[in-house]
């Protein structure tokens, strides 16, 4: 996500004035790989469905690997003419990074913890200093050294014990999200014999500095059990603290910010419950409130009471309640901050004297501060019309300083410390963008598209000045729109390589996210899921109709569930887009959601529907499933990416989709499948490798929008 040199307007002028160059087609290349047809028949609710490419699921079959490798070679051949552009983009991105850099230190007890990066090294180095930032630096974890010998190395947990003597960390060396938990003695630098395989994200220390809580998964990678481990003892003696047999639920464990309690949670997308136990022991957990269908809550602790964020009692946009330590059950809940129709309480943070609310209103993220002593509240104000204010790292409970992040489409990522009592902010760091970046040369705005049902959908845009809405500008439109995950406007140095070439970058805040509140999410899931796709189409049509761009210069991108979005909209409106990038796309909706053995499936039945249990849900899902709706018609130029070890969207979904598209479509536009054979859902783990992948994608986009330099 980085770029370097800004192009001058003189250099851009001929690019912007020219019509899109004729992009390469499949006719210009050797014959693409053809997947073998091996029909498999499934019957569901009386429908007989034939899947010619089911066999691609078997990664142990050498023919499958050979096919993926052949697709990679074909993609490399097709993109050979853009290699110079790829290298230029990569050098721009790397050139704008301050490669030797430091994060803003976090004060935790007697130590200042921070990370730093070094030129040429893929990963951060985690360090600390005792007492002050002038004290000697102590390296506690050099991820580069630990990653030696591994093509992929990702951390799923990183937690220092309360006495600062031990570090618990979990690593994944394949991208499969199967982590191994280990413990390092920070006084000796030695990794202890404690080694626990197949753990999930996250780990929590108890107050005794010896007890670790961690989660394990079932055969479908659903985190279903929580264990307690005493450092230095055999893992066989670990105690199972909790198990949730309900396939819709996932378990988690954490410590309250004041370090008083361990919280064990079970949650689905619609329902949750939590249990608490003293962090100092004994580890006997008591229920806060038993699960009730449709009621979600999360627990923190402040002073002598629990603070609970919940949607109970019709608080669709959530409210805050408090309950005494002696009785945190629902009967003792007392309203602290009421719910509001126009503002979503997206999260909270607690301090000894203050309560912080992270809110969403009108597609903007906001921060509100409440003094718990006086009850007075105030909002932190920001000047830009389109921005993102987000929680920072705030590990300390006994402080009046709030750390938050701020960014916009033109403002680089910034870290502020805010004195909540004095209402004063101090900029601690703004990401330095090398190469003379000047935000005054760019502009961002918000426009609104009218969806097919009349709903107004916000769209955020950024472009380089001067900008004239005459339909000539190329534009890349991005969206996600699922799981209630909001796509906030944020600065990207990688996107500068697009903006400096005259490309407009836009984000469609479509239903399925929570940009406009919880109802925005509810209107974009289950039997309302098609709103996500029609919102995106409406946004694209609006951008064309208002002459921000034209169909011939419009590219789109989405990943994971956003890849489902890409697949759905190219089936619905293939004429609307010039080029498509679908990263790790969830496209085989029926087959995946009908197979309970696949990771995430059971938990997501309340997200998409259960095609086996409900014929109504099956037929609705079938109406938009990209794999099931490929037709004999012309499709745009497409780049599809995946990772062989991806546990969230298996490689075979995009592989099957591309195979069916190749066999069915009527056009000769370029269709590429690129598989990272050593990574998972997030692509390469190293920062330089990830930039290479970004350069490849952006070269594809630029080339197909008629820009080749």
Residues noted as catalytic: 560, 646, 681
CB 85 within 8 A of CB 708: yes
Question: How many other C-beta atoms lie within 10 A of the C-beta of residue 426?
Answer: 10
CB 567 within 8 A of CB 585: yes
- The 3-state secondary structure of 439-475, one letter per residue: HHHEEEEEEEEECCCCCEEEEEEEEECCCCCCCCCCE
For the chain, the straight-line distance linking the first and the last C-alpha, in angstroms and rounded, comes to: 19
Question: What angle, rounded to 10 degrees, do the helices at 530-545 and 561-572 form?
Answer: 60
Encoding tokens for residue 209?
Answer: 């500095």
223 φψ region: left (φ > 0), alpha (ψ -120 to 50), beta (else): beta
Encoding tokens for residue 466?
Answer: 């001067």
d(CA 413, CA 495): 14
281 φψ region: left (φ > 0), alpha (ψ -120 to 50), beta (else): left
Nearest 5°: the CA angle 681, 702, 462 is: 80
Which of 400, 398, 566, 541 has the alpha carbon at shortest distance from 457? 541
Tell me the sheet residues that pair with 638. 580, 671
CB 158 within 8 A of CB 143: no
Q: How many residues does the chain have?
A: 709
Going by the DSSP 8-state scheme, the letter that residue 494 receives in this structure is T
- The verdict on whether omega for the bond into residue 282 sits within 30 degrees of 0, i.e. cis, is yes
Encoding tokens for residue 31?
Answer: 């014959």
d(CA 26, CA 77): 11
CB 411 within 8 A of CB 491: yes
Give me the residue label for tokens 């006719």: 27
d(CA 317, CA 518): 6
Which of 480, 464, 702 has the alpha carbon at shortest distance from 585? 480
Going by the DSSP 8-state scheme, the letter that residue 683 receives in this structure is B
């Amino acid at each position: 996500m980085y770029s370097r040199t800004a192009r001058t307007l003189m250099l851009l002028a001929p690019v912007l004035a020219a019509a899109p160059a004729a992009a390469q087609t499949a006719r210009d290349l050797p014959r693409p790989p053809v997947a073998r047809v091996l029909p498999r028949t499934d019957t569901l609710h009386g429908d007989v469905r034939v899947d010619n490419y089911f066999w691609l699921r078997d990664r142990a079959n050498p023919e499958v690997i050979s096919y993926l490798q052949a697709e990679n070679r074909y993609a490399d051949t097709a993109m050979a003419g853009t290699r110079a552009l790829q290298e230029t983009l990569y050098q721009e991105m790397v050139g704008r990074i301050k490669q030797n850099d430091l994060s803003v230190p976090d004060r935790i007890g007697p130590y200042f913890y921070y990370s730093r990066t070094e030129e040429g090294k893929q990963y951060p180095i985690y360090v600390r200093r005792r007492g002050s930032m002038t004290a000697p630096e102590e390296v506690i974890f050099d991820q580069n050294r630990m990653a030696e010998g591994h093509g992929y190395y990702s951390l799923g947990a990183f937690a220092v014990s309360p006495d600062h003597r031990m570090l618990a960390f979990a690593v994944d060396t394949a991208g499969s999200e199967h982590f191994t938990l280990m413990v390092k003695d920070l006084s000796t630098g030695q990794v202890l014999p404690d080694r626990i395989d197949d753990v999930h994200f996250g780990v929590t220390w108890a107050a005794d500095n010896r007890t670790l809580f961690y989660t394990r998964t079932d055969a479908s990678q659903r985190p279903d059990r929580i264990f307690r481990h005493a450092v230095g003892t055999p893992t066989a003696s670990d105690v199972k603290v909790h198990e949730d047999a309900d396939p819709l639920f996932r378990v988690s464990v954490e410590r309250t910010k004041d370090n008083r309690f361990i919280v064990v949670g079970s949650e689905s997308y619609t329902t949750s419950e939590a249990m608490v136990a003293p962090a100092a022991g004994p580890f006997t957990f008591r229920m806060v409130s038993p699960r009730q269908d449709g009621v979600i809550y999360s627990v923190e602790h402040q002073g002598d009471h629990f603070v609970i964020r919940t949607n109970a009692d019709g608080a669709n946009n959530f409210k805050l309640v408090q309950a005494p330590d002696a009785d945190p059950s629902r009967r003792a809940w007392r309203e602290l901050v009421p719910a509001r129709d126009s503002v979503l309480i997206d999260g909270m943070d607690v301090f000894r004297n203050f309560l912080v609310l992270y809110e969403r209103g009108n597609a903007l993220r906001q921060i509100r501060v409440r003094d718990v002593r006086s009850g007075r509240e105030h909002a932190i104000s920001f000047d830009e019309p389109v921005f993102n204010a987000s929680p920072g790292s705030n590990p300390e409970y006994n402080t009046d300083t709030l750390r938050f992040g701020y960014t916009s489409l033109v403002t680089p990522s910034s870290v502020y410390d805010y004195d909540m009592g004095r209402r004063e902010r101090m900029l601690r760091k703004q990401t330095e963008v090398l190469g003379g970046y000047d935000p005054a040369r760019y502009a961002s705005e918000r426009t609104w598209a009218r969806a097919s049902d009349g709903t107004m959908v916000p769209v955020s845009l950024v472009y380089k000045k001067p900008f004239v809405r005459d339909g000539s500008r190329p534009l890349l439109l991005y969206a996600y729109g699922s799981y209630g995950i909001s796509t906030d406007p944020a600065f990207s140095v990688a996107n500068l390589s697009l903006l400096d070439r005259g490309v407009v970058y836009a984000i469609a805040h479509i239903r399925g996210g929570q940009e406009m509140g919880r109802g925005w999410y509810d209107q974009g899931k289950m039997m309302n899921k098609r709103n996500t796709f029609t919102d995106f189409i409406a946004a694209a049509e609006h951008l064309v109709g208002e002459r921000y761009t034209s169909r011939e210069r419009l590219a789109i991108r989405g990943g994971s569930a956003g890849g489902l979005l890409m697949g759905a909209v190219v089936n619905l409106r293939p004429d609307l887009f010039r080029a498509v990038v679908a990263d790790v796309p969830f496209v085989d909706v029926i087959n995946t959601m009908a197979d309970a053995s696949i990771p995430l499936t059971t938990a997501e039945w309340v997200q998409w529907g259960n095609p086996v249990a409900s014929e109504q849900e099956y037929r609705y899902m079938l109406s938009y499933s990209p794999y099931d709706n490929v037709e004999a018609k012309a499709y745009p130029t497409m780049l599809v990416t995946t990772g062989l070890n991806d546990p969230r969207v298996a490689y075979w979904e995009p592989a099957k989709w591309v195979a069916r598209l190749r066999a069915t479509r009527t056009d000769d536009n370029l269709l590429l499948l690129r598989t990272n054979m050593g990574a998972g859902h997030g692509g390469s783990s190293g920062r330089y490798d990830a930039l290479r992948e970004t350069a490849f994608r952006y070269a594809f986009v630029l080339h197909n929008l008629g820009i080749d330099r």
